[in-house]
Amino acid sequence: MSISEASTTSWSRKIADTILSQCNEQGEHAFVLERWAYVPGMLLMAVARAGVQLGEPEYVGYMQRHMDSFIGEDGSIRTYRLEEYNLDQINQGKNLFLLYQQTGEQRYAEAAHMLAAQLIGHPRTSEGGFWHKKVYPFQMWLDGLYMASPFLAEYGAVFQRPELIDEAAHQLLLIERRTRDTRTGLLYHGWDESKEQEWANPVTGLSSHFWSRAMGWYAMAVVDCLEHFPVTHPKRGTIIGIFQRMCGALVEVQDKETGLWYQVLDQADRKGNYLEASGSCMFVYAMAKGLRLGYLEPSFHEAMRSGYEGILTHLAGEDDQGAHLHRICHGAGLSKDRNGSYDYYISEAVLSDVPMGVAPWLLASLEVEKL
């Protein structure tokens, strides 16, 4: 199916309607209500963006209903604990800005202030890079850039704290400099400044491979941060430049036949590797948004278009139950029992229709339809 056909049938609406129909059938999405966390936060944000773009208040209401189950009258957040110092816990807070804008209720601002306070006091590497979590000392992961930096940039813009936009820029530039492979231009999943972790190279501190979704997190972080940078920001041009350079590296490892990307990006021919949905959706989202906002040259349009058509042709489908997405990596990380090896990345469960893939698919569809 071509992008023009996809636009006329509005895949974004199909995906959002499927999410809401599942909620109606099950009463509420238990995973969304159970704990303040990054995956449900991304799903809520995607549905709310669909509501704004498609003019569907019901979609925004879905997000608000779930957010209100966490946000107290005083701005406290159920199940959140600042002292965990966990970047993943910031991501759901991105929904607070739309709620504050639409309602003016101070509790949403107070919740955002608390999350910003976590980041201001967050543990850091010697160069000021945020640790991914307190329990992962001196480790920076690409994942964390998406969790925290766009929140910090938007918070700085909304509450007139330009030094926090500077902080978001610093985080983006630091991890790119620390994790970029000069040969391929791709970014390694993680970096351990202390070089103590079992997954870390004892000389460089880097993990061993280029995981698709990790680079997807970073690509989305860049375009979402830049949206809140003033055009006069001294680091804006540099960040746009490294984004374009990174997208060029991604095009080099894009599968030419399907337009998709592999779970381990540069190991296409290796046994067990597979074309993975969440990373592919994230790259399409980042490229489509980058093209729309002028961060990428028009020459990237073909790679973006090929990627989106590949998703619809090879990974997506629909039936009377709604829209479906397949071949989604359940999750991957770096720890003692997650050693960052090739065999580890291809061993994680591969699922269908889980929010880790569906949310980026909805975000990508919204951006493609804007073009």
DSSP H stretches of helix in the chain: 3-9, 11-26, 30-34, 38-54, 57-68, 95-103, 106-120, 142-158, 162-179, 212-226, 236-252, 277-292, 301-310, 342-347, 355-370
- With 60 as the cut, is the pLDDT of residue 5 above it? no
Express each pLDDT in 118-131 by its tens digit. 999 999 999 999 99
**Number of other residues whose CB lies within 10 A of the CB of residue 127:** 11
Express each pLDDT in 329-370 by its tens digit. 999 999 988 999 999 999 999 999 999 999 999 999 999 999
- Average predicted confidence (pLDDT) for the chain: 95
Mean pLDDT of the 31-43 span: 88
To the question of pTM greater than 0.75 for the whole model, the response is yes
Q: Which CATH architecture has domain 3-370?
A: Alpha/alpha barrel (1.50)
How far lies 250's CA from each of 70, 212, 261, in Å?
A: 38, 10, 8
**pLDDT-based confidence at residue 4 (cuts at 50, 70, 90):** very low
**pLDDT-based confidence at residue 23 (cuts at 50, 70, 90):** confident
Q: Look at residue 153 in the predicted model and tell me its pLDDT.
A: 98
Dist. CA 176–CA 169, nearest whole Å: 11
**pLDDT-based confidence at residue 28 (cuts at 50, 70, 90):** low
| Domain ranges within the chain, ordered by starting residue | 3-370
Q: Look at residue 33 in the predicted model and tell me its pLDDT.
A: 72
User: What φ, ψ does residue 141 adopt, rounded to 5°?
Assistant: -115, 145
* Catalytic residue list contains 143: yes
Mean pLDDT of the 258-278 span: 98
Express each pLDDT in 230-263 by its tens digit. 999 999 999 999 999 999 999 999 999 999 999 9
- With 90 as the cut, is the pLDDT of residue 27 above it? no
- With 60 as the cut, is the pLDDT of residue 8 above it? no
Q: Look at residue 6 in the predicted model and tell me its pLDDT.
A: 43
Which residue out of 143, 192, 255, 353 is catalytically annotated? 143
Express each pLDDT in 100-113 by its tens digit. 999 999 999 999 99
